[in-house]
């Protein structure tokens, strides 16, 4: 298996989008789709929760210049992922869960002689 360099995996623009979303989202999901070892799509689903407890209204957050605390963990999870998704759940402005779904490509020849799946 070919080793994918972090530079090939994520461009600076993708890293900035991830960092921005981690800093600004209050509730929601980030879904990073990986194909051939490269992030090809990022979906951002943001939820807005309205309750009588929150009297201050919607909070607009500034994006700090530095890295988010979970950014290095997310990049580590993406490392080595050839096909699949990384789903990041954000609850109350904090990363609550990181879910990794990995898909593996199986050659047509595998399994013919009882090996593989």
Write down the domain spans for the chain. Answer: 6-99
pLDDT at 100: 95
Element of type H or E holding 76 = helix 71-78
Least confident of 2-6, 54-58, 94-98: 2-6
Which of the four pLDDT bands, split at 50, 70 and 90, describes residue 30? very high
pLDDT at 6: 46
pLDDT at 67: 74
Q: Write the CB contacts of 45 (distance below 8 Å, at least 6 apart in sequence).
A: 28, 29, 31
Distances in Å between the alpha carbon of 66 and those of 7, 14, 62, 70? 19, 15, 12, 12
pLDDT at 7 > cutoff 50: no
pLDDT at 77 > cutoff 80: yes
Count other Cβ atoms within 10 Å, centred on residue 42: 14
Rounded CA-CA distance 88/97 in Å is: 6
């Amino acid at each position: 298996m070919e080793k994918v360099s972090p530079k090939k995996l994520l461009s600076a623009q993708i890293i900035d989008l991830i960092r921005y979303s981690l800093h600004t989202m209050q509730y929601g999901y980030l879904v990073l789709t990986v194909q051939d070892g490269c992030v090809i799509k990022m979906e951002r689903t943001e939820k807005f929760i309205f309750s009588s407890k929150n009297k201050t209204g919607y909070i607009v957050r500034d994006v700090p210049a530095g890295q988010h605390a979970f950014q290095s963990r997310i990049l580590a999870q993406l490392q080595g992922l050839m096909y699949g998704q990384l789903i990041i759940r954000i609850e109350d402005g904090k990363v609550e869960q990181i879910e990794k779904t990995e898909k593996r490509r199986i050659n047509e020849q595998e399994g013919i002689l009882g090996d593989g799946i």
